[in-house]
Amino acid sequence: MTPSRWPTAIAFLVLALAVAASLFLGRVNVSPAEVIQGLLSPGASLAGLVVTELRLPRAVLAILVGASLGLSGAVLQGLLRNPLAEPGLLGVSNGAALGAVLSIYFGLSQAFPLATPLLGLVGAVGAGAMTFAFGRGGTLSLILAGSAVSGLALAFLALALNFAPNPYAAYEMNIWMLGTLSEKSWDHILLAAPFIALGLGILATMGRAVDALTLGEVQARSLGIDLDRTRILTLLGVGLSVGAATSVTGSIGFIGLVAPHLVRPFVGHQPGRTLLPSALLGAALLICADIVTRLLTTQNELRLGVVTSLIGAPFFFWLVLRLRKVAP
Amino acid sequence: MGAAAAVLLASQPAAAAPSGYAKPQRILSMNLCADMLLLELVPKPRIAAVTYLAHDGAEALFPGADAGIAINHGTAEDIINLKPDLILAGAFSTPLTRRLAKAIGAPIVEVPDATSFDDIRRNLHQVGAAVGEPARAETLVARMDADLAALAALPARPPVRVIAWSGGDSVPGKETLSGRIIEAAGAVNIAARPGQTYGAIDVEELLAARPDALLYGGGGPLKASVRGEEGQHRVLRRLYAGRRIVYSDIAHTCGLPQSARSALDLRRALDALPEQRVAR
């Protein structure tokens, strides 16, 4: 194993440990032997149901969502050459949130169960298309278009909250936006997984482009990188993966920002090599945050997005302190 | 000038109120539960407005009863525009509402939340007296008591262990109207802990608790939406197929004569449950 493989291997190990822990930990005490028994024979026993129908889909969804956020963050930070870039930057997260909230607003989720994630997907695709339409032709215009689309989606979110049909609906919209993995089933995974997989596949091919971009846009072009194509593919990849993820789980912040930063020092600050470890670490971080929400017994469920923000925001301070130390 | 206008405004209904037999003619309700009581107690022409939430509740309980009645959003403008001569409010009316009510001389009646059948009797009598329909209120109380008597007359049955779970983190406990309805129907609310109103329970805990049936609050005015979806988690759909009892939110949320009927309906649904226990 070459030294450059180590970060990936370690991230993979962390993820594997997190997944294992998430299968064994939960509100209901299921003994390790019963968990293994339940995995082997997913029959009618309580342990079997808890493990195969509740904890396993939750872990799988956390892997998909965390990987989407981590990988998108890594690619965007490389493409935009900005340490603050994160998956929400292109407007797809807020677009997905808007679609989902509208499904609550119009009571569609009442009519058929998967309306919320479906409309979330539509919102993410719509927002991505808008960002693309307005942001063609340059990195700066892409960021600006993303901010504009984000802002517009936020404005409509506020409007929907403002005109919520009743206080209860407003409460639900708010709560939905905090993000959660609880009560998600294989149905949700079947819906989101194809989009997430496609998006992740696209993003995984961006390594060479983001490496070349460290030299600057002109130099990258001279190395044979088609910048327009790179931007389009990034937008598509982020839109599909993060859009589908957000539409199922709600907004989950900071994972996409933090994961690449944690990985970077271990890969010699080469953006292309942060991609895979970032995806793995993003997944591991999300599972750990989810375990926290399960183990803290609170009157109301502690939402996942709240935990990631509480852990992620202090990370910003660390980032500032480090930048002050590094910069003259 | 302003003070004179306020006195003029105030003097008019105030003169009518103490006479005793003059019934309020423009009643404004600013609370969903008060809406429901008002719609049952008073003929339509005497209702100035109900809340914007009333429609769905009325549809669930007595379809069409609110047709043509104005709605209000509980704002100061509503009070001033509608010029009510009686205001029904929830337990927590705002100081502004009270001040405005005083300024226009309309008495304000605060209808407390009901968490038991006794509370419902008390509310019916209180609102019935305030709107000038004590006899009608008495009839409704009698109807409710008849339903409760019919329920009590049914043969005792082995208790069914239930959880009223509509997804998410708000499961009614013991000290709620829902809890009392479940108890009256002969079921045991296993989410009930002493002294607790609403609690949280996740799917894992729900499965581990092994209730015999799930009660699902749907079809009320407070439409669950995301919860509706979460309440459909496929493992519950599969395990509790045929063992999910849908009830109308409104009769569990608001203390109404229909709350007793809801208990009776629940008892019938419990009797109709399949024999075997939940497969495991």
Mean pLDDT of A233-244: 91
Residue with the bigger pLDDT between B137 and B60: it is B137
DSSP string, A74-113: HHHHHHHT-TT--GGGGSHHHHHHHHHHHHHHTTHHHHST
| Average pLDDT score over chain B | 81
Is B81 inside a domain boundary? yes
Q: What is the largest CA-CA distance in chain B?
A: 77
Mean pLDDT of B232-255: 83
Domain count, chain B: 2
Residue B205, min C-alpha distance to chain A (Å)? 6
User: Which of A59-73, A201-215, B71-85, B264-278 bottoms out in mean pLDDT, i.e. has the lowest?
Assistant: B264-278
> Does the beta-carbon distance from A166 to B222 stay under 8 Å?
yes
Tokens representing B10 are 């105030």
Mean pLDDT of A45-71: 90
Mean pLDDT of A49-55: 86
Specify the pLDDT at position B19: 42
Kindly give, in sequence order, each residue whose CB lies less than 8 Å from that of residue B197, ignoring residues fewer than 6 positions away.
Answer: B172, B173, B175, B176
Residue of B168, B222, B226 with shortest CB distance to A109: B226
A116 touches chain B (CB under 8 A): yes
B107 and B170 housed in the same domain: no
Predicted confidence (pLDDT) at residue A283 exceeds the cutoff of 90: yes
Q: Report residue A322 CA to chain centroid gap.
A: 25
Distances (CA, A) of A77 to A64, A213, B50: 20, 11, 54
SS3 B196: coil
> Does the beta-carbon distance from A107 to B221 stay under 8 Å?
no
Residue A64, min C-alpha distance to chain B (Å)? 20
A28 touches chain B (CB under 8 A): yes
For B55, the domain range is: 2-111
Which residues of chain B make contact with A46, given a CB cutoff of 8 A? 207-208, 210, 280
Domain A3-326: CATH superfamily, name plus number: ABC transporter involved in vitamin B12 uptake, BtuC (1.10.3470.10)
Predicted confidence (pLDDT) at residue B223 exceeds the cutoff of 60: no
Compute the half-sphere exposure of residue A19: CA atoms within 13 Å on the CB side of its CA.
Answer: 19
Specify the pLDDT at position A327: 66
Specify the pLDDT at position B197: 67
Is B51 inside a domain boundary? yes
Q: What is the CA radius of gyration of chain B?
A: 21
Cβ-contact A100, A249 below 8 angstroms? no
pLDDT over 70, % of chain B: 82
Residue A240, min C-alpha distance to chain B (Å)? 23
Question: Distance (Å, rounded) from C-alpha A267 to C-alpha A196?
Answer: 25
Question: Distance (Å, rounded) from C-alpha A301 to C-alpha A312?
Answer: 19
Tens-digit pLDDT profile for residues A107-166:
777 677 678 888 888 998 899 889 988 988 778 888 899 999 999 999 999 998 888 877
Is residue A224 classed exposed, middle or buried when 0-12, 13-18 and 19+ CB atoms within 10 A define those classes?
exposed
Could you tell me which residues of chain B have a Cβ less than 8 Å from any Cβ in chain A? 52-53, 167-169, 199-200, 202-205, 207-208, 210, 221-230, 232-235, 239, 279-280
Specify the pLDDT at position A43: 66
B172 and B237 housed in the same domain: yes
DSSP string, A115-149: HHHHHHHHHHHHHHHHHHHHHTT-HHHHHHHHHHH
Neighbouring C-beta atoms of residue B194, cutoff 10 Å: 7
pLDDT over 90, % of chain B: 36
Question: Distance (Å, rounded) from C-alpha A105 to C-alpha B225?
Answer: 9
> Does the beta-carbon distance from B224 to A182 stay under 8 Å?
no
Q: Check which CATH number belongs to the domain holding B30 and give it.
A: 3.40.50.1980
Tokens representing B158 are 């082995």
Boundary of a domain, candidates B46, B78, B111: B111
pTM of the model: 0.81
Tokens representing A324 are 């002050």
Residue of A53, A168, A176 with shortest CB distance to B222: A168
- Angle separating helix axes A139-162 and A92-105, nearest 10 degrees: 20
Residue A289, min C-alpha distance to chain B (Å)? 17
User: Which of A288-297, B194-203, B218-227 bottoms out in mean pLDDT, i.e. has the lowest?
Assistant: B218-227
Cβ-contact B270, B157 below 8 angstroms? yes
Which residue in A120, A93, A104 sits closest to B167, CA to CA? A104
Helix (H) or strand (E) holding B128: helix B117-131
The DSSP call for residue A50 is I
Specify the pLDDT at position B244: 84
Which residues of chain A make contact with B223, given a CB cutoff of 8 A? 107, 110, 165-166, 168-169
Is B225 inside a domain boundary? yes
* Opening angle at CA A73, ends A70 and A78, nearest 5: 130
Name the pLDDT band for B8 (thresholds 50, 70, 90): very low
> Does the beta-carbon distance from B203 to A26 stay under 8 Å?
no
Tens-digit pLDDT profile for residues A75-95:
999 998 888 888 888 898 999
Name the pLDDT band for B2 (thresholds 50, 70, 90): very low
Question: Which residues 215-254 of A are in CB contact (within 8 Å) with B?
Answer: none
ipTM reported for the complex, 2 dp: 0.72
Is B36 inside a domain boundary? yes
Predicted confidence (pLDDT) at residue A173 exceeds the cutoff of 70: yes
Neighbouring C-beta atoms of residue A106, cutoff 10 Å: 16
Cβ-contact B30, B90 below 8 angstroms? yes
> Does the beta-carbon distance from B227 to A27 stay under 8 Å?
no
B170 and B252 housed in the same domain: yes
Residue with the bigger pLDDT between A326 and B144: it is B144
Phi, psi angles (nearest 5°) of residue B246: -90, 130
A190 touches chain B (CB under 8 A): no
Specify the pLDDT at position B43: 93
DSSP string, B90-101: -SS--HHHHHHH
Which residue in A266, A199, A207, A284 sits closest to A233, CA to CA? A199
Which residues of chain A make contact with B168, given a CB cutoff of 8 A? 175, 183, 301
Specify the pLDDT at position B193: 65
Specify the pLDDT at position B224: 43
Phi, psi angles (nearest 5°) of residue B105: 75, 15
Residue of A49, A103, A300 with shortest CB distance to B207: A49
Mean pLDDT of A58-69: 95
Is B280 inside a domain boundary? no
Neighbouring C-beta atoms of residue B76, cutoff 10 Å: 12
Domains of chain A by residue range: 3-326
User: Which of A110-114, A231-235, B1-5 bottoms out in mean pLDDT, i.e. has the lowest?
Assistant: B1-5
> Does the beta-carbon distance from A300 to B200 stay under 8 Å?
yes
User: Which of B133-137, B141-145, B169-173 bottoms out in mean pLDDT, i.e. has the lowest?
Assistant: B169-173
Which residues of chain B make contact with A169, given a CB cutoff of 8 A? 223, 225
B99 and B179 housed in the same domain: no
Mean pLDDT of B21-39: 90
Predicted confidence (pLDDT) at residue A168 exceeds the cutoff of 90: no
Tens-digit pLDDT profile for residues A101-113:
888 788 777 677 6
Closest chain B CA to residue A52: B235
Is B60 inside a domain boundary? yes
B27-29/B47-51 β-pairing: parallel
Is B28 inside a domain boundary? yes
Most A-contacting residue of B30, B35, B204, B206 (CB-CB within 10 A), to test interface: B204
Closest chain A CA to residue B227: A172
Question: Distance (Å, rounded) from C-alpha B204 to C-alpha A46?
Answer: 9
Predicted confidence (pLDDT) at residue A297 exceeds the cutoff of 80: no
Name the pLDDT band for A268 (thresholds 50, 70, 90): confident
B92 and B193 housed in the same domain: no
> Does the beta-carbon distance from A299 to B225 stay under 8 Å?
no
| Average pLDDT score over chain A | 87
Specify the pLDDT at position A2: 52
User: Which of A225-234, A311-320, B137-146, B179-188 bottoms out in mean pLDDT, i.e. has the lowest?
Assistant: A311-320
Boundary of a domain, candidates B94, B111, B128: B111
